[in-house]
Amino acid sequence: MGEDEPWCLPGNAADWEAYQASLEKSNTNADQGPPPNLGELVEKLHSPSPDDRLNAIRALGNLGPSAAPAVPELRQALNARHPTVQRGYELVGFQFRGPVLWAFSRIGPAAEPAVDDILQVAITSDPDQSPANYDFQVLAIQALGSIGPGASRAVGPLLQLAEPMHPGDVRLYYTLKAVGQIGGDEAWKGLEKYLRFEDRTARALAARVLVKVRPEFVEPVFDSFREDDPEVAAELAARLKFTESRLSFLVASLQTEYKEKALEALTALGPAAHEAVPTLVKLEKHLDREPLASALRVLDPTGELSVPLIQPGLESQAEVWRTLDLLDQMDTRQARRAVDAYLRSHPGSEKQLEHVRSLRAVGDVGM
C-alpha cells in the first residue's frame, strides 16, 4: 500500500499526536458525485480483479455506517487467504486485511458482528514475524475502538495485549485509546493504572478518558500532570473540582503557549474562578476575543468586576473599537450599559459598531 492510503500508520511516538489530529480533520467522503450502489460494491468484493476488490473495500469504508449490510462479506474478505477460493476468486495471502480493518473502523458500531474476527487479528498478529502484522494489529485495535461499547468483550484481551508493551510503543497508545472508546467499568479500572505510567502520552490518554467518566481517579494524580505535563493539566482542570491552587495554576497558564486550554478551563469552572477576571482583562490583547468575552461573561455574570477594568479603553482612540467589540460580545448588564453610554455620548458611532458586528460575523475583526 502506498503512503497516501488512509490505513497507513505512524510508526513512532513523535508522530502520534499529529496523526490523531489528522484523523479528526479527515473527510474521506469528500468526493463529489452520486453515492455508490451498495449491492454493486458487495458484488465487486468477489471480482476476479484485485484492484476492483480493493476499490470496493475502500468505497465501503467511505460509506461509513451505511455499509453495515456489507459486514458479513467484509468478514469473509478479512479471513480469506491464499490458496482458498471463495465464490470463484482467489485471494493472495492477506493482501486485503489492512483495508478491510480500516473499513470496519469507518463503519463503526454497525461492525459489531465482526468483533470476534477483528479481535483475533489483534491478538494473533505478531509484528516480529512480519512488518505487515504491525499494521494489521494496530488497524484491528482501531476498529475495535470504533465499534465502541459493542466491543466490550474485547476490553480484557486488549488490556492483556497492552501489558507487555513498553513506553514509546505506539501500539500502546492505540490500545489505550480503543479501551477508552469501548468503555465500561473494566475499561476504566484498566486505564487507571496508566495514570501513573512513565510514558507521558499513555498517561495523558488515560487521564483524558477518565476525567470525563471517573474524575475521582484523576484527582489524586493531578499535581503530577501539573509538574510534568502542564498543558494536559490545564485541560484536566476543566473537569475537576475547583481549588484555589488549581485556579492559581490556570491564571499563571494564561501567559503560556497553552493559554487557550487554560481559558477553557477557567470558563468551565464558572463564577468560582472570578478571581481570574483582572488577569483576563490585563491580557485581553493576547487572547482571542470571542472565548475571552465568553469567559468574562461566565466568570462575572453581571460585569461588575470586569467592566470597570475594561472601560478605560473607551477613552483611547486607538483602543475604543476593540474595547467596544469586547464589551458588546460580553453582553452582560454592565457591559451593555457601558456600550449604550458610549453610543449616546458619541453620535454616529452606532453605524461604526454595526460595521464591527458585521465584520465579526464573518470572522474579520482584526483590531
pLDDT at residue 48, rounded to an integer = 86
- pLDDT band per the 50, 70, 90 thresholds, residue 366: low
Overall average pLDDT of the 128-154 stretch: 93
Q: What is the pLDDT of residues 227-248, one digit of tens each?
A: 999 999 999 999 999 999 999 9
- Chain-centroid distance of CA 220 in Å reads 24
18 vs 21: CA distance, rounded Å: 5
State residue 19's pLDDT score: 53
- Over residues 141-147, the mean pLDDT reads 97
| Closest of 117, 127, 126 to residue 154, by C-alpha | 117
Convert the pLDDT of each residue in 1-48 to its tens digit.
343 444 445 555 555 555 555 544 444 444 445 567 899 999 999 888
Given a cut of 70, whether residue 126 has pLDDT beyond it is: yes
Q: What are the residue ranges spanned by the domains of the chain?
A: 302-367
Cell output for 210: 477518565
Whether residue 111 has pLDDT greater than 70 = yes
Whether the predicted pLDDT of 114 surpasses 70: yes
Binned at pLDDT 50, 70 and 90, residue 81 comes out as: low
The per-residue DSSP string of 65-89 comes to: GGGGGGHHHHHHHHH--TT-EETTE
pLDDT value at 273 more than 50: yes
Average pLDDT over residues 106-119: 98
Full-model pTM: 0.80
Spatial distance between the Cα atoms of 304 and 271, rounded to a whole number of angstroms: 12
Least confident range from 5-19, 97-111, 215-229, 254-268: namely: 5-19
Q: How many whole angstroms separate alpha carbon 267 and alpha carbon 264?
A: 5
Question: At residue 50, does pLDDT exceed 90?
Answer: no
List the grid coordinates of 221: 494524580
Of 317 and 141, the one with more pLDDT: 141
CB-based contacts of 358: which residues, under 8 Å, 6+ apart? none
Number of Cβ atoms within 10 Å of the Cβ of 168? 15
On average, the pLDDT of the chain sits at 87
Between 97 and 115, where is the model more confident? 115
Q: Which residue has the higher pLDDT, 77 or 111?
A: 111
Q: What is the pLDDT of residue 34?
A: 59
Three-state DSSP at 89 gives: strand
